[in-house]
Structure 1
């Protein structure tokens, strides 16, 4: 158990001393970029899904 506590302690020390954290403005800007990309990707996925739905409906209507 001592090894685990030591590991956690050293991990926090490394986070405090060696990690360079971004500025708040950069965090906000990158969050907006990720949110916009997620919305665009979701819309593209929806569009491709609808395209496949229409294609399959057309294919099965031909088979009737």
Structure 2
């Protein structure tokens, strides 16, 4: 009976107490996540290219 009660209470909470975002809010959040991910990827790319060039310069001096 504990499991049945748990499922009923969980369903009631999801239906009555949780405030779900609107479609517009979901779209805005998705755009924010995509832009943040793109910016993060660009920063990582810049760091990678910088490190690569620094290492090439070091190796060219050593050999």
Q: Calculate the TM-score normalised by the size of structure 1.
A: 0.81
Closer, same or farther: CA 4–58 of 1 in aligned 2, 3 Å: farther
User: 1:32 Cα shift?
Assistant: 0.6
Unaligned runs of 5+ in 1: none
Q: What is aligned with 1:31?
A: 30
**CA-atom RMSD in angstroms:** 1.4
| Runs of 5+ consecutive residues of structure 2 not aligned to the other structure | none
- For residues 8 and 61 of structure 1, do their structure 2 counterparts lie closer, same or farther at Cα, with a shift above 3 Å needed? farther
TM-score, with structure 2 as normaliser: 0.82
CA distance in 1: counterparts of 2:45 and 2:62, whole angstroms = 26
Segments of 4+ in structure 1 off by > 3 A? Answer: 2-6
C-alpha deviation, 1:20, in angstroms: 0.7
Alignment of 1:20-59 (within 5 A): 20-59=19-58
